[in-house]
Amino acid sequence: MTVKIDWENLGFSYMKLPYRYLAYYKNGKWEQGVLTEDATLHVSESSPALHYGQQAFEGLKAYRTKKGTIQLFRPDENAKRLQRTADRLLMPQVPTELFMDACKEVVKANQDYVPPYGTGATLYLRPLLIGIGDIIGVKPAEEYIFTVFAMPVGNYFKGGLQPTNFLIQDEFDRAAPNGTGAAKVGGNYAASLLPGKTAKSKGFSDVIYLDPATHTKIEEVGSANFFGITANGQFMTPKSPSILPSITKYSLLYLAEHRLGLTPVEGDVFVADLDQFVEAGACGTAAVISPIGGVQHGEAFHVFYSETEVGPVTKRLYDELTGIQFGDIEAPEGWIVPVELD
Ligand SMILES: *Cc1c(COP(=O)(O)O)cnc(C)c1O
């Protein structure tokens, strides 16, 4: 390894790596993509992505194994989700094979930046699909850019496996009932900046959003899904059309059942019933599993397991998931995609 990086102390920050993948969609089809050293996008000032939010993104990671090989975790699921998001925003789908090849090429070209095994750090990949071109009316773009860039990252929430506290704010929603909550689009994040700032200024890690229609049920954190563990061994997570379907969450639902013997439940999670949980966490590619210490809602502060220690079930789920991602534990069929380094 030739690059000098303090792998143990990486946060979640942009780093300009040597290569990224770039492909154009023009005249109704995807052109051949290339790896480029140019980290700046050159687009029309009238691009629909800039004005009307016609854009989508993804997030996935490359993991260095003990043997030194590099692997991706369920990238085909990210490809499929980007296709669903593209459908919702009238953008052309990026074919799964194009998506997977782009991710692999970017990892391979920047392989010196895939953190060493044992540091806990990973290479975060950011696929991005944007509508470009000379259009000022509100309609879908005719040209698109699909790009994938990458950077080494450590923890997303400051604590890692240290629990942190979250805030429920009734005055803000991140998505509408039949809006774009289930699509991975920047607009949802723009809407979350102000509530996120309020929460952080009060010392919370982030916001837990409630269902926008009734404000009685937990939906998700602005960048991660919610789960709770009940005393009788259920792994419970909210089901709602305005939640972003987290690949990590669906992986945990599977692992909870098949590896830990828990009962997986997707359903309503009422704020009034938070007492049923003996542990809770936020999960996502960036967050991995971040234990939720406590939740503030109005005057009420609810502690799940402990404000300072991760609960035993959350820890087992974390070990199982990361063990699979880093290649130490056998993965369910199809979850791991190796990156050939030749
Ligand atoms: C990306 C994202 C998640 C996490 O999804 P993963 O597939 O697990 O990374 C959760 N919530 C929102 C709003 C997201 O954008």
Ligand 1, atom 3: closest residue by C-alpha: 224
Does the domain made of 20-153 have the CATH classification 3.30.470.10? yes
Mutational pocket test of ligand 1: of 61, 77, 184, the residue with most ligand atoms within 8 Å of the beta carbon: 184
pLDDT of residue 192: 95
pLDDT of residue 157: 65
Q: Kindly report, residue by residue over 150-197, the tens digit of the pLDDT.
A: 999 997 766 668 999 999 999 999 999 999 999 999 999 999 999 999
Q: Kindly report, residue by residue over 248-301, the tens digit of the pLDDT.
A: 999 999 999 999 999 999 999 999 999 999 999 999 999 999 999 999 999 999
Radius of gyration for the chain, computed over Cα atoms and rounded to the nearest angstrom:
20
pLDDT of residue 159: 62
For the question of residue 184 being annotated catalytic, the response is: yes
Q: Architecture of domain 164-326 in CATH? A: Alpha-Beta Barrel (3.20)
Dist CA 185 CA 223 (whole Å): 11
Q: Where are the domains of the chain?
A: 20-153, 164-326
pLDDT of residue 342: 78
Ligand 1, atom 1: closest residue by C-alpha: 223
> Taking Cα atoms as reference points, which of 226, 244, 242, 241 lies closest to residue 168?
226
> Which residues lie with the beta carbon below 6 Å from any ligand 1 atom?
59, 184, 220, 222-225, 244, 246-249, 284-285
Secondary structure in 3-state letters for 36-99: ECCCCCCCCCCCHHHHHCCEEECCEEEEECCCCCEEEECHHHHHHHHHHHHHHCCCCCCCHHHH
Q: What's the CA-to-centroid distance between 73 and ligand 1, angstroms? A: 14
pLDDT of residue 139: 97
Contact 207, 192 (CB under 8 A): yes
Distances (CA, A) of 229 to 39, 73, 237, 257, 292: 43, 24, 9, 12, 11
- pLDDT, mean over the chain: 96
pTM of the model: 0.97
pLDDT of residue 87: 98
pLDDT of residue 143: 98
Q: Which of 184, 200, 217, 315 is catalytic?
A: 184
Q: What's the CA-to-centroid distance between 17 and ligand 1, angstroms? A: 23
pLDDT of residue 1: 56
- 20-153 and 164-326 agree in CATH topology: no
Per-residue pLDDT of the chain (342 residues; tens, 9 = 90+): 578 899 989 999 999 999 999 999 999 999 999 999 999 999 999 999 999 999 999 999 999 999 999 999 999 999 999 999 999 999 999 999 999 999 999 999 999 999 999 999 999 999 999 999 999 999 999 999 999 999 999 977 666 689 999 999 999 999 999 999 999 999 999 999 999 999 999 999 999 999 999 999 999 998 999 999 999 999 999 999 999 999 999 999 999 999 999 999 999 999 999 999 999 999 999 999 999 999 999 999 999 999 999 999 999 999 999 999 999 999 999 999 999 997
